[in-house]
Amino acid sequence: MIARRKSVLATALLAALLGGAVQAQEETVEVEMRDYGYHPAELEIAVGTTVRWVSVEKRTSHDVYFPEDGVASGRLFPGESWERTFDEAGTFEYHCQPHASRDMRGVIHVVAE
């Protein structure tokens, strides 16, 4: 169990350093919403993975909006989160509707294993 936890932490650290990584070991991956950005802004995951967006801002709210299919989280205030599971391979671009002028954008690359 401890070895697995260390492996998961190493993978998360690598993802943070590279700005995105394939997440094969975890079924849920977190993206932080802070400083008017998604961190990481680009992510590559396996089919079936859930992504959880977490607002760690202090004073503002954000949302997660996928214009291709009209899926939206609604506004997320500090401490709130929203999840989406990706069951199909593809590229899914999203942005924050309230902060589109700040170019707050992200992309999820979903790959079949």
Confidence band for 26, pLDDT divided at 50, 70 and 90 = low
Q: What is the pLDDT of residue 43?
A: 97
**What is the domain count for the chain?**
1
3-state secondary structure of 45: strand
Q: Tell me what the mean pLDDT of segment 84-101 comes to.
A: 95
Assess whether pLDDT exceeds 50 at residue 11: no
Measured from the Cβ of residue 50, the count of other Cβ atoms closer than 10 Å reads 15
Beta strands in the chain (DSSP E): 22-23, 28-34, 37-39, 42-46, 50-55, 65-66, 71-72, 81-85, 90-95, 105-111
Task: Look up the domain containing 70 and give its range.
Answer: 2-111
Lookup: tokens for 99 = 């902060």
Q: What is the pLDDT of residue 63?
A: 97
For residue 5, which amino acid is it? R
Assess whether pLDDT exceeds 90 at residue 87: yes
Q: What is the CATH number of the domain that holds 104?
A: 2.60.40.420
- What is the C-alpha separation between 107 and 44, in angstroms, rounded? 9
Assess whether pLDDT exceeds 50 at residue 5: no
